[in-house]
A and B are shown apart, each in its own frame.
Chain A
Amino acid sequence: MDLTFSSEQEEWRDEVRTFLTAELPADFDWNSEYDEDEEGWAFALDFTRKVAGRGWIGLTWPMEYGGLARPAIDRFILWEELIRANAPVVNHIGWGLAANALLAGGTHEQKLRFLPPIARMETFWAEGLTEPDAGSDLASLRTSADWTGEHWIVNGQKTFTTWGTHADVLYLAARTDPAQPKHRGISIFCLDLRAPGVSFSPLHNIAGGRQNHTYFDDVIVPADCLIGEVGHGWDYIMGSFYAGGPMGGMECEQENRLAELTRWCSTVGRYGRPLIEDPYVRERLAELAVMTEISRVLSYEGLSNFLHRRPPRFGGALNTVVSKEMRPQFSQTISEIVGPLSQVRGESPAAPMTGRPAEWFLRGINNHAGGTPQVKRMVMATRGLGLPR
C-alpha cells in the first residue's frame, strides 16, 4: 500500500496550481449552474480554452487525436486541482461522456474528426439521453433515427438537456431499430445542434440554472455521425460513463466547503463564544469532516482500482450510492450548523458566507443527474451483491 504521488506527479500538481493561480482572480467565484450569467459564461469559456491551450483537455488521449497521452493518474490530479480551485471548466460532456464513447467505439475517422476540436475547446457538447418517459429506464427511449439509404432522420424529444443552448453538438442516443429488444435497438450519434429541425424550450432549475427540452423534427444526421456500430449504443452508454478513469472531485469540493465553514465558525459568535467552541457545532463539523474523508478514500480507491485494473467491489456502484446519498445530507448539515441565517441568499448583509449555504442547499437537492440513488442501490444489490432482481 502506498498513497503517495511520485515526485513527477507532485511536480505536475504544482504546474497545474501555478497555472490556476495565474489565471483565476483571487476572489474568484462562479457557479456553472447560473446559465444566464453571461459574464460568467464568457469567462468560463475563455478559461476552458486556456486549459485546452495547454493540451490538458485531452490529457490522456492518444497524440493523434489531440491528446498528450499522459497517464490516468495525471488526469486525476488535474481534476483535484481544478475543483479545489473551483475553476470554471466547462464542456464536461464533450471531454467526458462523448470523448469516452468516441474513444471506445468510434472509427479512426470519427476520432480524428471529433476529438481534436474537443481537445482544443472548439466544440461544445450536450448530452441527449433522458426523455420525458425514459429517465431511470433509459433503454426505453423512443427518439427515433431512421435510415433513408443516405442519411439518418431523427425525430423525438429529449429532456433535462444541460447546456443545450450553449452547445454545438449533442451526444444523442436514439432508436435505430424498433424491432430489436429495447437495449439492442439503440445507437449513438453526434448530432449538430445547429441543424434545421432542432429546437429547445427552457427548464429553469431551482438552483438558478437551466436545462432544456430538446426537440427533433426531421433532423438530418449524416451517416458518418453514428458512433461505432449500429445497435451498440447501449454498450457505449454504459461503458463510457466511467471509462475515462476516475477524477478527483467530490472530496475537494467538500474540503473547500468545510474549510470555509470552519473559518466562518471561528469568526462568528454565538452564546458569547465563537461558534467553533459550541459542542453542537463541533459535533456537526465532525460529521462533515467524516463525510469528506469518506469521499477522499472512495476517490483514492477508485483511482487505485483503475490503475491496477482491479474490478471494484459491489459492481462499482458503492461509490455512486454513497456520494449521491451524501450530497443532500452534507448541505443540510451545513444549514443546521449555520442556523436560521442559512436561508439568506446573495449579497444581503445578513447573509453568512455571502449566502453560500443557501446555494449549497439548493444544489445539494440534485443527486439524480446521471441516475438516482435508489437505482444505484438496486445496481449495487443485484450486480454487486448478487441479490435476485
Chain B
Amino acid sequence: MFDYDLNDDQRELGATARRVFEQAGGLALARELFETRAYFSRALWRTMIELDWAGLAVPEAYGGSGGGILDLYAVCLESGRAVVSSPLIPSSVVAAHVLVGAAEGNQRVAELLGRLASGASIVAPALLEPGGVWDERGVETRLERSGGTAKVTGTKVLVPFADVADRLLATVRDRDGVSIVLVDPAATGVSITPTDNLASLPLCAVVMEGVEVDELVGRAGGGWPQLAPALARGAVLRAAETAGAGERILEMTVEYAKSRQQFGKAVGSYQAVQYLCTDIGIASHLTDLLARRAAWLIDTGRPHQRAAAAAKLHASRAAAHMTQRAHEVFAGLAFMMEHDLHLFTRHAKHWEHDLGDVRHHGEELVEALQREFVDGSQR
C-alpha cells in the first residue's frame, strides 16, 4: 500500500540508533570530540560495528547484511541528530558501493570488502582535489602505467578518515579517463596530514608522489560511472543526516522560544521568531521528504539522479539555513561555545559541502534535465 514512511524494521533500527548514540554520550560526546580534537570516537564506531552497521548495505555474499539505503537512512537521521562523526557514510556506503561493483572475480577487492563489512577495515574515498570540484572534471591526479606497475601522483583534500584507513579509494586520471585505484596509506610516496577544519572532523590532505598501486578497481577509464551511484548514495545519506540534525535543531529552538521571555512574553510569541522557527521546520521536513524519496528510488532500482541531486542540493542549502535561523533565535546565547548549537553549525558546514555542494548538484540536476528532455533518455 502507498506509504511514505519507513517500515517497522527501519523505524526500529532508527530507535536503536537513537539509543546507541545517546548512550555513547550524544551531544556531550560530540562536544568532547570537538574540544579535544579527537576527530571521532573509536568506541562508538566499535559499537556500530557490533551492530553490523559497517556492512549494513554490503551484500551478504561479501559478508554484509544486504540492507538498503533506506535502512541506513534510519541510522543517518539519528547520526545527524546526535552530530556523530563516523566512517559510516564514507567507508560503509561510498567506498563499499564502488567495491561491490568491482568485487566479482576480483579476490583482493572481495577480501577488502569483507574486512570493510566486518568493521576490520576502513576504506576512505579520496576524491576531492584542491580545485574543490566534486565531479569528474575535478580529477587531476595522474595515473601512470608502464609494464606491470601503476603509479599515482596527485593531491587529494578533505579525505575523511585517511589517517586511520586501511586503504584509500582514489580517483585517478590517464588517457583512458578517470579510473579508480586502491592506495595503501602506508606506501612510500604517500603523505597524510590532518586538516584543521571548522568541525574538527577527521579530514586529511593526502599527497601522493609516484605511489605504486595494484591493478585498477573496475575498468580503465570507467571510474566515473562506478563512482557516481556511490556518490549519490552517500549524498542522500548526508541529506538524511542534515534532516535528522534539523529535527533536533528545531526541537531545541522551539523549546527555547517557548521558555525565553523578553518584554514579558515568550519570544516565540513574536511573529519574527515564529518565522524563524517555521523556517527551520520547513527546511528540515522538506530535506527529509526529498532524501527519503531518493533513497527509496535507489533501493527499488529506479532512476534516481534527479531526485538524489535535488535532495542533496536542498540539504546543502538547508544545512546553512537551518543553523543560521536557529542562531537568530538564540541570539547571543548560541554565539557562545557553552551552548550546543555551534556543534551543529560546524558540522552543517561540512555536510553542506560534502559529497557535492550546491554548485555541484545544480550542475547534476541540469544535466539530468538535459538527458531527460533533450536527449530523450532517463539514464
B197/A135 in contact, CB under 8 A = no
Interface check B163, CB cutoff 8 A: no
- Cα separation A344 to B193 with both chains bound (whole Å): 13
A270/B157 in contact, CB under 8 A = no
> Contacts A205-B337, A343-B197, A343-B199 known; A349 to B353 CB distance under 8 Å?
no
Residues of B within 8 A of A377 (CB): 272
> Which stretch of A6-14, A85-93, A184-192, A330-338 is in the interface?
A330-338
Distance from B160 Cβ to chain A, minimum over Cβ atoms (Å): 12
Interface check A369, CB cutoff 8 A: yes
- Cα separation A374 to B263 with both chains bound (whole Å): 14
B337/A204 in contact, CB under 8 A = yes
Report how many residues on chain B are interfacial, defined by Cβ distance under 8 Å.
47
> Contacts A206-B342, A341-B157, A350-B157 known; A365 to B327 CB distance under 8 Å?
yes
- Cα separation A350 to B324 with both chains bound (whole Å): 26
Residues of A within 8 A of B264 (CB): 137, 140
A365/B324 in contact, CB under 8 A = yes
- Cα separation A355 to B131 with both chains bound (whole Å): 15
- Cα separation A377 to B25 with both chains bound (whole Å): 40
Residues in B188-236 with C-beta less than 8 Å from chain A: 193, 195-199, 205
> Contacts A206-B336, A271-B137, A348-B205 known; A341 to B130 CB distance under 8 Å?
yes
A205/B336 in contact, CB under 8 A = yes
> Contacts A206-B337, A339-B353 known; A373 to B328 CB distance under 8 Å?
yes
- Cα separation A339 to B360 with both chains bound (whole Å): 10
B197/A361 in contact, CB under 8 A = no
Residues of B within 8 A of A362 (CB): 198
B349/A374 in contact, CB under 8 A = no
A336/B357 in contact, CB under 8 A = yes
A372/B328 in contact, CB under 8 A = yes
- Cα separation A339 to B157 with both chains bound (whole Å): 12
Interface check B375, CB cutoff 8 A: no
A271/B133 in contact, CB under 8 A = yes
Report how many residues on chain A are interfacial, defined by Cβ distance under 8 Å.
53
Smallest CB gap from A139: residue in B? B263
Residues of B within 8 A of A339 (CB): 132-133, 353, 357, 359
A361/B198 in contact, CB under 8 A = yes
Residues of A within 8 A of B358 (CB): 336
Residues of B within 8 A of A318 (CB): none
Smallest CB gap from A337: residue in B? B359
Proximity bits, A333-372, B CB within 8 Å = 1, else 0: 0011011111111111111000100100110011111001
Among B128, B272, B337, B353, contact of A342 (Cβ-Cβ < 8 Å) = B353
Smallest CB gap from B337: residue in A? A204
Distance from A2 Cβ to chain B, minimum over Cβ atoms (Å): 38
Smallest CB gap from A203: residue in B? B336
Smallest CB gap from B338: residue in A? A203
Residues of B within 8 A of A351 (CB): 195-196
- Cα separation A173 to B237 with both chains bound (whole Å): 51
Interface check A211, CB cutoff 8 A: yes
Could you list 7 examples of A-B contacts with CB < 8 Å? A136-B263, A271-B137, A340-B157, A340-B353, A343-B350, A344-B196, A374-B272
Nearest 7 pairs of A and B residues by beta carbon: A339-B132, A374-B272, A340-B353, A368-B331, A137-B262, A206-B342, A270-B131
